[in-house]
């Protein structure tokens, strides 16, 4: 009998009544639940729950019964607000409104509508004649052959009612109608006929934007992405001329720029380019600013965004919306966004406590870089910096004058034993530079010059010290001393892996590693920063979480064992090419953001010895960049030494975060010393987390020797080509 009851319960569960998709999302958000939390509780994928909330899919037993139970309980806790009664007639649905405007019977329109979406009712009767933003069923606005407007995995809009339609919209023109594709499948009708009107509509009616990432910070301005058809509609060129491309903007005399000026709108100093910012001066705490992204003007660099610029509007909204939800609303290139993320997480100022009159004032926000730039130390300055203006012309600074912390570019000839092996296997450190930033103390203020200092591994700075006495043939690994073949190891102190010849400038992590290897260090002088902190921790955490969440959507999770991890990584980009674009953009945000800390002149009529625009930023901090690169290189060398001490294997080539070993098989498991599924403590470990490694590529040893013979370069860096094996004459300056 119990079996019959179970069967009946299952039958009822298969028909469990569920609220509409929008109500499902409302109930989840009302209880403060994330999609990930619901997915974990129901033991389904995140994309599955997202599909249920967008109406793309419906749950099936046995998950349907559990999902219905969850929604029923939430409905008891958070009943829907009663609909405001209309004075004369019921509010028409979207389909009915469209049918009436077209002269069709409302019944027929109701049959064609995807769902009964009520038109918004404005508080003022005057505004009711034109809805602020009209949600269109995706099926009525979809381009032929395009994906639906709410592909699985699209993050929902923010809970903040000011930004209920998400951080951004892709503006397109379809059949003469201007449409704004938002995240989560929402499509808005855009009434604006001109670009100034579009900006005004965005700020007053579109409900676009994103809440601030930090308490003292600012909300993110709405982002509009203009497709070529939208450019035509608003009088902008579909492509920039060669002169405009070099200038990075359209002329100030362009008719659209004049339209904006007549509407009291202003542009930043960069003008109207691929990432234009249109604003009016802030009134108190109220900002009036809209950012434009124009893919047709190469706003989305294909090296980082792949084919994003060619995607249909709904899919482009999904890609940029996912990035915006997990990282931040793009503010320019991935490099610019990476730098802006640092500031958004650590704003330079905050409101003070009320004074005697109850007024608050702006004050320095502890833990930030402040609002004013600080000068770097002379050794930290790149060539041409104003602090080096007194140097003789054409003077070339040596290691004892210039801090040169860069990533590895090192290779060596293979030994006879390595030549007898079958394969060269490359492994790559995930998010290596992000991992290098995690937990790293960096200077927050100006440097202090010290003579004959006592080295302090916890004090950020640049140190002039002689490390030429460090012998890699005998080093301390952990608490034990190990004898290694030092000739097969790169020096940890120089990017080219060459042993230093005398005193040189190093960042704190490099000098600390020399002491860790068991050698004395005696700095001659230093530029140290007594005001310091772990400024990049929040930046690392946000980018790490964005990377891991997106990789999990692609089927690569942090709990996989080595074999399953390698299998999951094989072809992961093909499972969802759009999310693969997001992964690429997140990684580019890390490297680009750190690169911006030492941005060089970009045209601007600059001459050596004169300041350039980037120097006016408090985030122009070459010392922070040097410290992160130093720690990243040291982290990699530490793993290489541990591997050599235990497995007796040495790298053949290293390029940045990629290391190549000769192995007896094509897999990383053919040389990584896993024991009973457990990796070598302190060595390389396969996995998706930042700092762990993945398979970069495999080629044969014969391929490697053939490349060396072809280009007659005994130190040719094979790590550069291990991924696909393609080597060209141009790569080697031939």
Do 105 and 231 belong to one domain? Answer: no
Do 202 and 269 belong to one domain? Answer: yes
What are the tens digits of pLDDT across the range 513-530? 999 999 999 999 999 999
Distance of CA 247 to the CA centre of its chain: 27
CA atoms of 95 and 117, how far apart (whole Å): 8
Do 260 and 147 belong to one domain? Answer: yes
**What pTM does this model have?**
0.79
Do 28 and 105 belong to one domain? Answer: no
Residue with tokens 């600059």: 606
Last residue of a domain, one of 332, 353, 378: 332
Assigned domain for 301 exists: yes
Q: Check residue 378 and report its DSSP letter.
A: G
Do 195 and 254 belong to one domain? Answer: yes
CA atoms of 122 and 131, how far apart (whole Å): 7
The answer to whether 529 touches 623, Cβ cutoff 8 Å, is yes
Do 89 and 39 belong to one domain? Answer: no
Do 156 and 231 belong to one domain? Answer: yes
Q: Check residue 210 and report its DSSP letter.
A: B
What are the tens digits of pLDDT across the range 371-394? 999 999 999 999 999 999 999 988
Interior/surface letters 285-297, b for 16+ CB within 10 angstroms, e for the rest = eebbbbbbbbbbb
CATH number reported for the structural domain that contains residue 10 in this entry: 1.10.260
How high is the pLDDT of residue 494?
A: 96
Do 54 and 142 belong to one domain? Answer: no
Do 194 and 71 belong to one domain? Answer: no
- Dihedral angle, C-alpha 616, 168, 542, 45, nearest 10 °: -170
Last residue of a domain, one of 312, 332, 352: 332
Half-sphere exposure of 180 (CA within 13 A, CB side): 28
- Report whether pLDDT(144) > 60: no
For the ranges 27-36, 164-173, 560-569, 598-607, which has the lowest average pLDDT? Answer: 27-36
How high is the pLDDT of residue 687?
A: 96
Last residue of a domain, one of 332, 359, 380: 332
Do 193 and 315 belong to one domain? Answer: yes
**Mean residue pLDDT across the chain:** 86
- Pairing mode, strands 223-226 and 168-174: parallel
For the ranges 38-47, 237-246, 483-492, 605-614, which has the lowest average pLDDT? Answer: 38-47
Assigned domain for 614 exists: no
The total number of structural domains in the chain stands at: 3
How high is the pLDDT of residue 145?
A: 33
- 102 pLDDT tier (thresholds 50, 70, 90): very low
What are the tens digits of pLDDT across the range 646-684? 999 999 999 999 999 999 999 999 999 988 778 888 899
Q: What is the CA radius of gyration of the chain?
A: 29
464 compared with 93, residue with greater pLDDT:
464
How high is the pLDDT of residue 11?
A: 54
What are the tens digits of pLDDT across the range 671-720? 999 887 788 888 999 999 999 999 999 999 999 988 888 776 556 899 99
CA atoms of 539 and 546, how far apart (whole Å): 11
Assigned domain for 520 exists: no
For the ranges 143-152, 329-338, 574-583, which has the lowest average pLDDT? Answer: 143-152
The answer to whether 515 touches 521, Cβ cutoff 8 Å, is yes
CA atoms of 148 and 165, how far apart (whole Å): 17
Question: In terms of residue numbers, what domain contains 9?
Answer: 2-77
129 compared with 496, residue with greater pLDDT:
496
Do 175 and 253 belong to one domain? Answer: yes
Do 254 and 275 belong to one domain? Answer: yes
Q: Check residue 652 and report its DSSP letter.
A: S
Assigned domain for 203 exists: yes
């Amino acid at each position: 009998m119990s079996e019959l009851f179970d069967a009946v319960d299952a039958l009822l569960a298969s028909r469990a009544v569920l609220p509409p998709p929008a109500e499902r999302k409302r109930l989840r958000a009302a209880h403060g639940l994330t999609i990930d939390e619901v997915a974990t509780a129901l033991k389904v994928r995140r994309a599955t729950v997202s599909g249920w909330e967008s109406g793309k899919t419906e749950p099936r037993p046995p998950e349907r019964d559990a999902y219905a139970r969850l929604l029923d309980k939430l409905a008891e806790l958070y009943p829907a607000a009663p609909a405001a009664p209309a004075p004369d007639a019921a509010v028409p649905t979207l389909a009915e409104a469209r049918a009436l405007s077209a002269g069709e019977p409302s019944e027929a329109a109701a049959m064609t509508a995807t769902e009964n979406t009520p038109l918004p009712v404005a508080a003022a009767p005057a505004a009711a004649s034109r809805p602020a933003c009209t949600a269109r069923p995706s099926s009525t606005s979809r381009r032929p052959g395009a994906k639906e407007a709410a592909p699985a995995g699209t993050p929902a809009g923010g809970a903040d009612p000011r930004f209920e339609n998400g951080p951004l919209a892709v503006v397109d023109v379809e059949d003469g109608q201007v449409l704004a594709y938002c995240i989560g499948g929402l499509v808005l009708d855009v009434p604006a006929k001109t670009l100034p009107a579009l900006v005004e509509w965005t700020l007053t009616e579109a409900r676009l934007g994103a809440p601030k990432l930090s308490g003292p910070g600012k909300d993110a301005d709405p982002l509009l992405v203009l497709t070529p058809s939208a450019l035509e509609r608003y009088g902008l060129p579909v492509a920039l001329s060669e002169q405009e491309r070099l200038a990075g903007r359209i002329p100030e005399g362009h008719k659209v720029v004049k339209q904006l000026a007549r509407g009291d709108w202003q542009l930043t100093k960069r003008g109207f380019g691929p990432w234009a910012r249109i604003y009016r001066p802030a009134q108190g705490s109220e900002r009036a600013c809209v950012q434009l992204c124009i893919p047709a003007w190469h706003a989305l660099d294909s090296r980082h965004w792949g084919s994003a610029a060619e995607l249909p509007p709904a899919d482009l909204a999904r890609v940029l919306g996912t990035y915006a939800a997990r990282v931040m609303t793009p503010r320019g290139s991935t490099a610019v966004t990476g730098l802006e993320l640092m500031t958004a997480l650590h704003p330079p100022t905050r409101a003070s406590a009320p004074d005697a009159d109850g007024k608050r004032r702006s004050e320095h926000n502890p833990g930030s870089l402040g609002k004013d730039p600080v000068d770097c130390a002379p050794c930290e300055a790149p060539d041409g910096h104003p602090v080096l203006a007194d140097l003789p012309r054409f003077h070339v600074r040596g290691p004892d004058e210039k801090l040169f912390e860069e990533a590895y570019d090192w290779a060596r000839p293979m030994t006879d034993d390595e030549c007898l092996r079958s394969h060269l296997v490359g492994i790559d450190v995930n998010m290596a530079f992000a991992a290098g930033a995690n937990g790293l103390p960096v200077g927050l203020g100006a440097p202090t010059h010290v003579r004959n200092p006592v080295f302090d591994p916890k004090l950020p700075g640049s140190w002039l010290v002689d490390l030429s006495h460090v012998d890699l043939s005998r080093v301390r690994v952990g608490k034990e001393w190990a004898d290694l073949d030092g000739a097969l190891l790169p020096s940890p102190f120089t990017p080219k892996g060459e042993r230093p010849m005398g005193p040189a400038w190093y960042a704190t992590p490099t000098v600390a590693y020399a002491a860790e290897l068991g050698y004395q260090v005696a700095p001659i002088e230093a530029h140290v920063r007594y005001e310091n902190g772990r400024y990049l921790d929040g930046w690392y955490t946000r980018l790490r979480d964005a990377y891991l969440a997106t990789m999990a959507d692609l089927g690569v999770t942090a709990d996989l064992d080595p074999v399953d991890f390698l299998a999951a990584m094989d072809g992961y980009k093909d499972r969802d090419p759009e999310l693969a674009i997001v992964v690429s953009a997140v990684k580019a945000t890390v490297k680009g953001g750190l690169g911006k800390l030492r941005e060089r002149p970009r045209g601007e009529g600059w001459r050596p010895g004169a300041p350039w625009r980037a120097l006016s930023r408090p985030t122009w901090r070459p010392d922070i960049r040097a410290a992160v690169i130093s720690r990243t290189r040291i982290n990699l060398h530490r793993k290489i030494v541990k591997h050599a001490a235990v497995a007796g294997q040495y790298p053949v080539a290293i390029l940045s975060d990629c290391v190549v070993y000769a192995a007896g098989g094509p897999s990383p498991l053919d040389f990584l010393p896993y024991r009973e599924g457990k990796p070598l403590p302190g060595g390389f470990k396969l996995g998706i987390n930042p700092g762990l490694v993945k398979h970069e590529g495999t080629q044969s040893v014969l391929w490697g020797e053939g490349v060396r013979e072809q280009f007659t370069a005994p130190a040719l860096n094979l790590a550069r080509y291990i991924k696909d094996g393609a080597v060209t004459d141009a790569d080697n300056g031939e």
